[in-house]
Amino acid sequence: MQSGALLRAVCIITGYIVSYFHRAFFPEGCEQSTLQDTLTYDTMVRIGGSFTGFSTAFQVVADMYGWKHIVLLADDDTERICWYSAKPFDDIFGNNENYTFSWLRFEPDPTPEELDDILDQVQARARGFLLLLCYLF
């Protein structure tokens, strides 16, 4: 499967899941036109601008909904775009006493076993409140 097709599939599935649980969805990098359907993807929030602006806008939403446990899942490669979008989240939430923030960092191309471990950590740390997924294939 090509990386673009895999990213599209992840965006569509994530959009369905977060809509079902009535959670805001900030799809940075999800560009397919099907995601414009506001009836199906009714919790999608499109944000343009800087990565810092994206994390600041997310903080407003987290405060509005009372989200306190935030998990960010991103690889740790400073040469990839995910790191640049993840770093401002760490700056805002990482040292803020009002949140429990976990940046789960992983190497590019994790094995299935490593992915299972990551999912177990997400479940333990997020307690079902929120998961931000930033992984570009």
Number of domains in the chain: 1
Q: What is the pLDDT of residues 35-51, one digit of tens each?
A: 778 888 888 776 665 57
Q: 83 is in which domain, residue-wise?
A: 67-137
Mean pLDDT of 108-137: 68
Answer whether 0.75 is exceeded by the pTM: no
Tell me how far apart the alpha carbons of residues 86 and 102 are, in angstroms, rounded to a whole number.
Answer: 11
Minimum mean pLDDT range among 15-19, 29-33, 79-83, 128-132: 128-132
Asked if residue 4 belongs to a domain, the reply is no
Instruction: Give the chain's count of helices (H) and strands (E).
Output: 4, 3
So what's the pLDDT on residue 130?
46
Query: Which residues contact residue 8 at a Cβ distance below 8 angstroms, ignoring those fewer than 6 apart?
Result: 30, 32
DSSP 47: -
Does a structural domain hold residue 104?
Answer: yes
pLDDT at residue 136, rounded to an integer: 41
State the pLDDT at residue 135: 47
